[in-house]
Structure 1
Amino acid sequence: MQAMVYEGPYRVKVGTKPDPIIEHPNDAIVRVTRSAICGSDLHLLHGLVTDTRVGCTFGHEFVGVVEEVGSSVRTLKPGDRVAVPFNISCGSCFYCKRGLFANCESTNPNSDLASGVYGYSHTTGGYEGGQAQYVRVPFADVGPMKIPDDMEDEEVLFLTDILPTGYQGAEMGNIQPGDTVVVFGCGPVGLFAMKSAWLLGAGRVIAVDHLDYRLAFARKYARVETLNFKDVDIIPTLKELTEGRGPDVCIDAVGMEAEGSKLHSVLGVKLKMEAGSPTALNWCIQAARKGGTISIIGVYGPPWNLVPIGTAMNKGLTFRMNQCNVKRYMPHLLEHIRAGRIDAKGIITHRFPLAELPRAYELFEKKLDGCIKCVLLPHGHA
């Protein structure tokens, strides 16, 4: 099959790899019809996530058609269309029983970390990803959701990661009716966090970024107020907009490659002395009102970052964070899509056949041509 191949920091190509095979009775083989490039893939591309191995295939957002199932699979059959959560979860361990599918202890040898994840570093199990024509799906009776016959692949593609992630980010904010919510980052996850904040009762939603085209997209797509941190002093401005107190909820939808701080950029991104640049997280802590809530859905790598935890303690802030428990949210968010409350495919700005993957990565990484979200067509056609 044709698949994305990681060649080292900043280098990807499309190459030929062996077709995946059934390795366990509860596996399925899925022919990928749509895949996407995620901001988390850029962390891998830039060499910021440990144990990202040369030769691996990225991609944890994909939908497709079941080609083959193992002997113990009961819920799927060849021909079924499925959306596959990025978490690989067993469905029966201590965490899965509690709906914490992102913390499954059966699918990742590094059991103190997250669950297994498709197309990520070997710190999450080393599973091959979906930026390929075919992918092996373990625990096929647990994760995949059948796509309703009357829905298109692209309508549900983002149920595999970024829509549930944005929604969980808003949910973890414990938004109360009328709250002011600030979302740092106008990328795809941030956009869905904004939409979700409205659904959960926010009275005001403010988006922060530094790229004018992304801020314009957020205003149009999510109907939010926007601030460009290159144009204003962001913390005093947020205080001024909120009667001097600060927002009730701050959502970090950026993570380890945040801009805005030369110190953290040098320490974290260039020298690798921090697990990325925690600028957005620092701003959340500084901006939030006393007694407010910080929700972290931006990805940070271990082991540590420089953050003002003393300030957070003295302000009485509540922190909520996790990788997204995707399976838990899929049915609920599917109904929001059906009802027209969320136009999930409305964030897609570019589509590429798999053969043009390096160009897609370049556009997404460098934020060229108004790129918000790239979708890949592994078999070269709609």
Structure 2
Amino acid sequence: MRAMVYRGPYKVRVEEKDVPRIEHPNDAIVRVTTAAICGSDLHLYHGLMPDTRVGSTFGHEFVGVVHEVGPSVRNLAVGDRVMVPFNIYCGTCFFCARGLYSNCHNVNPNATAVGGIYGYSHTTGGYDGAQAEYVRVPFADVGPTIVPDWMDEEDAVLCTDALATGYFGAQLADITESDVVVVFGAGPVGLFAARSAWLMGAGRVIVVDHLDDRLEMARTFAYAETVNFTRHKDIVVELKRVTGWLGADRVIDAVGAEADGNLLQHVTGAKLKLQGGSPIALNWAIDSVRKGGTVSVMGAYGPIFSAVKFGDALNKGLTLRMNQAPVKRQWPRLFEHMRSGYLKPNDIVTHRIPLEHIAEGYHMFSAKLDGCIKPLVVPGAD
């Protein structure tokens, strides 16, 4: 099969790889029909995530058709069109039984925190991802769901991570009626978090970024006020000013470890494998929320030794909530919103890239060229 292959920081290409095989009776092999490049993939692309190994295939957002099933699979059949959460989880361990699918205890021997994730380095289990023609799906009776007949394929692929993660970020923020909500980051997750904040009763939503095309999307898709942080000497002071000098009630960090990174981060992350980026956005969130407020962290972080303002969070009496989204737990409510017409996820899709051109796609997305906000990947496209 043809698959995206990582060859080192900023180096990806399409190569021939073996079609994955059934390794466990409850595996399925899925032929990928639509995948995506996620903003968190850029942390891998830039070499900022530890243990990202040469030869790996990225991609954790995908929809496809079941190509083969193991002998124990009961819920899927060859030919089913399925959407697959980015979480790989067993469904039966202590954490899965409590709905903490992203913290599954049985799918990742390399970490004590996060469970398994498709195509996201060996720190999340070393599973190959779906920026390829085929992908192996473990625990096929647990994660994948048959795509509803009424759901568009592009909407389905966004449900497998970006939409569910943004919705979960708003959920973790404990938004109550009339709250002022600030979202750092106008990438796909930030846009979905901002849009979801309205569904949870927010009275005001403000999105912070530095890219004008993303801020325009925040205004038109998420109906949010916007602030370009490059146009203010101190973004925290500006946010305090526009919130009556109290700060926002809830702040959502949808930036994470700053996918661009700076020189120190590249040396410590890519070379010494010590960290994945910096906590600037997280510290902004801590500083700009009001006393007694809530900070929800959705951005992807690796191990960070840089100083997080934990003392400030303590003294302000903040509630900090965070996790990788347990995707499938969000789907029933999200599906209701979609069927009711409150959400059309693929409104944020800006590019559809053939798998063969994925190196150019990564460069475009990384460098924020051509107004690229959410690129999809289409295996087999011309």
**TM-score, scaled relative to structure 2:** 0.96
* Segment of structure 1 superposing worse, 286-295 or 227-236: 227-236
**Matches of 2:259 and 2:237, distance apart in 1:** 19
- Do residues 300 (structure 1) and 301 (structure 2) align? yes
Please give the alpha-carbon distance, in whole angstroms, between the structure 1 residues aligned to 2:364 and 2:354. Answer: 14
Of 76-85 and 111-120, more deviation after overlay is shown by: 111-120
Aligned to 1:26: 26
For residue 275 of structure 1, report the CA deviation from its aligned partner. 3.3
**Displacement of 1:178:** 0.2
Post-superposition offset of 1:302: 1.1
Note the C-alpha offset of 1:103. 0.1
Following TM superposition, by how much is the alpha carbon of 1:234 offset from its aligned partner in structure 2, in angstroms? 1.1
TM superposition shift of 1:268? 2.8
| 1:347-375 superposed Cα distances (whole Å, 9 cap, x missing partner) | 11000111111111111111011111110
- Residue 265 of structure 1 and its aligned partner are, at CA, apart by 3.6
Is 2:65 the partner of 1:65? yes
SS of structure 1 residue aligned to 2:4? strand
Aligned-partner Cα distance in 1 for 2:331–2:28: 20
Q: Taking every aligned residue pair, what percent have the same amino acid on both sides?
A: 60
What is the aligned partner in structure 2 of residue 321 from structure 1?
A: 322
Q: Given the alignment of the two structures, is residue 125 of structure 1 paired with residue 125 of structure 2, yes or no?
A: yes
CA deviations on 1:38-77 (whole Å, 9 max, x unpaired) are: 0111000111111100001000000000011100000000
Equivalent residue number for residue 210 of structure 1: 210
Aligned to 1:108: 108
Q: Equivalents in 1 of 2:150, 2:174: separation in Å?
A: 34
Structure 2 residue 284 is matched with structure 1 residue 283: yes
**Secondary structure of residue in 1 paired with 2:33:** strand
Cα 1:201–1:76 change in 2 (3 A) is same
- Conservation of the 8 A alpha-carbon contact between 1:181 and 1:247: yes
Contact 1:65–1:79 (8 Å) recurs in 2: yes
Query: Counterparts of 1:138-177 in structure 2 under 5 Å?
Result: 138-177=138-177
Following TM superposition, by how much is the alpha carbon of 1:303 offset from its aligned partner in structure 2, in angstroms?
A: 4.5
* Cα pair 1:267 1:277 within 8 Å, conserved: no
CA distance in 1, matches of 2:7, 2:367: 19
How many residues are paired up? 377
Instruction: Give, in whole Å, the separation in 1 of the partners of 2:267 and 2:188.
Output: 25
Structure 2 residue 41 is the aligned partner of structure 1 residue 44: no
Between the aligned partners of 2:43 and 2:141, the Cα distance in structure 1 is 30
Q: Distance in 1 between matches of 2:195 and 2:131?
A: 27
Residue from 268, 271, 295 that aligns with 2:265: 268
Regions of 4+ moved over 3 Å:
264-267, 269-275
C-alpha separation in 1, matches of 2:151 and 2:104: 30
CA distance in 1, matches of 2:363, 2:154: 22
Q: Deviations over 1:290-348 (max 9, x none)?
A: 00000001011014331111111110000000011011112221221121111101111
Gaps of 5+ in 2: none
How far 1:271 moved relative to its partner?
4.2
Q: In the TM superposition, what whole-angstrom CA distance separates every residue of 1:195-240 from its partner, at most 9, and x where no partner exists? A: 1100001000000001111111111111100000011231111111
- Unpaired runs of 5+ residues, structure 1, are none
RMSD over aligned CA atoms reads: 1.3
Contact conserved, 2:348 with 2:373, CA < 8 A, in 1? Answer: yes
1:56 aligns with 2:53: no
* 1:123 aligned counterpart, secondary structure: helix
TM-score by length of 1: 0.96
Task: For 2:135 and 2:275, locate their aligned partners in 1 and report how far apart those are by CA, in whole Å.
Answer: 33
Letter in 2 for 1:278: P
| Structure 2: distance between partners of 1:240 and 1:41 | 35
Per-residue deviation, 1:269:
4.0
Q: Which shifted more, 161-170 or 105-114? A: 105-114
